[in-house]
Amino acid sequence: MRMSQLFSTTLREAPSEAEIASHQLLLRAGFIRQLGAGIYSYLPLGRRVVTHIENIMREEIEAIGGQELTMPVVHPADIWQETGRWGQIGAEMARFKDRSGHDMVLAMTHEEVVTDLARREIQSYRQLPQLIYHIQTKFRDDPRPRAGLIRVREFTMLDSYSLDRDLAGLDRQYQAHYEAYFRIFNRCGLPVRAVGSDTGMMGGLAAHEYMYLTPVGEDTLLFCQSCDYAANRQVAAFSKPHPPSEDALPLEKVATPGASSIAELAAYLDISPGKTAKAVFLMAEVDGEDAPRMVFAVLRGDMALNETKLANALAAAGKGTVRNLRPALDVEIEAIGACPGYASPIGIDREKTWVVADDLLPRSPNLVGGANEAGYHLRNTNLGRDYEADIVADIALAEDGSPCPHCEGALEAARGVEVGNIFKLGTRYTAALGATFLDEDGQPQPIVMGSYGIGVGRLVACIVEEHHDDQGMIWPASVAPYPVHLVMLPSRDGTAESAAEGFYQDLVKAGLEPLYDDRDERAGVKFNDADLVGIPLRVTVSARSLQNGGFEFKRRDGDERWIVPLEEAVKAIKEAFEDQQVPGEPNPL
């Protein structure tokens, strides 16, 4: 490709709204352009990177038995209504009506569609297991798209779906994906960590996320440095303290003027926050409930609430799927007989409230809790004696320094970007849609499913975050838009132009098409653009290089330059890229 004909231009400065490196560099180098909030076009250089990534994905998924298909972007609402997700998912799902008035959906994921296919195509246990996949466009109406390709509304994903007769088969396909995903990310040059995660709107039995650790990430992860425990903070467990046993003491009402927070209460009574009971009020929108339900979460005062764990605890207890949690208003708190800032579950209206207690509370006697009267608290509140909980579960947030649940080592927090996820769906969708097979005895059984995905654009952005410097991007050879950046510097007698043109044709014939900078620009502009675009190997053809015996080679990730004779250049590049190395340099690209 000649840069004089390339359908993109480089920018000297990034737009002001581009805050992170990948967003700035992909815009400046002409790989992407923004159409609207969270909606991007991939220009030819960006499209070539995406194609290389998608081909790696195809190779690795097909290596574990995957068959490629393509499923629609537009879905009839009926199948989403059958699984219940039509009502569970909020405004991020793009809904519309077709000209006949039928409700339709823009795909944000494809579990419903693949399950519909399975119930049509699978009849017998002899047809299982199956693994099908596609690489397809999706749309989620994210209210806060940010950071370029990191968080968008329209995006492309690799989705694969496993179909099995039992959980043992699901476990095998899950493990195969677990390993294949590491190979995909490794081939793309991106270091990732797999962590346990929440199943979220997907539902199912278990899930893992593949996280790229970076300060620009929105997710908080917790890792144990002493063992292999790792989890997203949404679901991370931690070892809780073991308070000394005490006899339950009588309730005692005490004046605590102005002590409406845990810190103020502990200071006023000269006790540790761990000897207090914290009240957190949330309003939950729950499937099957016409109006939001008050959720009163109770924890020890030295703990913070994990809302994801709380929502999961409600669902596990049969209270329904929580669509949304929001902080309760004072008027809503007062409506159940509680007093904001001085609240406890003692004496409230239980008809309107679900009380959820952290599982540390049964082992934490004689805590100071609210008296539901402004300016007063109660000493010696005890779960089971003074109040009951509808649910007792782990609802506390693990934090940096919390003890590991496996080995008691300190957990360490880090920021990360989720680039992939895998889910054990089980029969969550097949049972709802009636996707069954006949077993050996002729009895219908629900197909057991797994779902696995990688965001292509987000992966592109993370590769750039990992591989760049102050001058521009440094693409790994496996995904670079072109293998070579050929830079021609005009000479007075035209020998450099002639040599560069001949070399360009030779590379094309050898299957090593370069990005050929044939523009009428100064050397500084060409070199700066080459660094910005970030192709692994730069080859410069100039009067000086020819006088020195050939072409000047330079790796994008190094400063050293070396001359390769003209007659050896094509062969040297071809051999180098066969084993992912640049001639004369031992390090892989």
Answer whether residue 588 shows pLDDT above 80. Answer: no
User: C-alpha angle with apex 223: 222 to 224, nearest 5 degrees?
Assistant: 130
Contacts of 17 (CB under 8 A, 6+ apart): none
Q: Write down the pLDDT at residue 581.
A: 47
Type of residue found at 189: G
Q: Are 159 and 191 in contact (CB under 8 A)?
A: no
What tokens does 554 get? 């330079």
**Mean pLDDT of all residues in the chain?**
92
Averaged pLDDT for residues 284-302: 89
Furthest C-alpha separation in the chain: 101
Q: Map out the domains of the chain as residue ranges.
A: 18-214+417-464, 252-393, 484-578
What tokens does 207 get? 């899930």
Q: Write down the pLDDT at residue 200.
A: 63
Residue % of the chain over a pLDDT of 70:
97
Residue with tokens 């339709």: 104
Short-list 170, 176, 167, 136, CA closest to 154: 136
Q: Write down the pLDDT at residue 587.
A: 32
Residue with tokens 């209460």: 265
Rounded Cα distance between 209 and 196, Å, is 6
Q: Are 515 and 486 in contact (CB under 8 A)?
A: yes
pLDDT band for position 149 (cuts 50, 70, 90) = very high
Q: Residue 30 burial (CB < 10 Å; 0-12/13-18/19+)?
A: buried
Contacts of 320 (CB under 8 A, 6+ apart): 286, 287, 288, 289, 314
Q: Roughly what angle, to the nearest 10 degrees, separates helices 44-63 and 167-187? A: 140
Q: Write down the pLDDT at residue 202.
A: 56
Reduced 3-state DSSP string for 407-456: CCCEEEEEEEEEEEEEEEEECCCHHHHCCEEECCCCCEEECEEEEEEEEH
Give 343-372 pLDDT, tens digit per residue.
999 999 998 899 999 999 999 999 999 999
Q: Are 268 and 259 in contact (CB under 8 A)?
A: yes
Phi, psi at 308, each rounded to 5°: -65, -45
Q: Write down the pLDDT at residue 381.
A: 96
pLDDT band for position 250 (cuts 50, 70, 90) = very high
Query: 65-68, long-range: CB within 8 Å, 24+ apart, which pairs?
Result: 65/129, 65/131, 65/176, 66/131, 66/132, 66/133, 66/160, 67/130, 67/131, 67/132, 67/133, 68/132, 68/133, 68/134, 68/135
484-578 is a CATH 1.20.1060.10 domain: no
Rounded Cα distance between 219 and 414, Å, is 8
Short-list 432, 439, 424, 440, CA closest to 119: 432
What tokens does 140 get? 């989620």
Q: Write down the pLDDT at residue 583.
A: 44
Q: Are 359 and 299 in contact (CB under 8 A)?
A: no
Would you call 363 helix, strand, or coil by DSSP?
A: helix
- CATH code of domain 18-214+417-464: 3.30.930.10
Short-list 128, 138, 202, 238, CA closest to 172: 128
Q: Are 145 and 38 in contact (CB under 8 A)?
A: yes
Alpha-helical regions (H) of 298-396: 307-316, 330-335
User: What is the CB neighbour count within 10 angstroms for residue 452?
Assistant: 25
Q: Are 516 and 1 in contact (CB under 8 A)?
A: yes
Q: Write down the pLDDT at residue 586.
A: 33
Would you call 104 helix, strand, or coil by DSSP?
A: strand
Answer whether residue 579 shows pLDDT above 60. Answer: no
Q: Write down the pLDDT at residue 464.
A: 98
Residue with tokens 């596609």: 134
Give 92-144 pLDDT, tens digit per residue.
999 999 999 999 999 999 999 999 999 999 999 999 999 999 999 999 999 88
What tokens does 94 get? 């793009």
What tokens does 443 get? 């009895």
Q: Are 191 and 463 in contact (CB under 8 A)?
A: no
The CATH architecture that domain 252-393 belongs to is Alpha-Beta Complex (3.90)
Phi, psi at 115, each rounded to 5°: -70, -40
pLDDT band for position 580 (cuts 50, 70, 90) = low
What tokens does 343 get? 């609240």
Answer whether residue 404 shows pLDDT above 50. Answer: yes
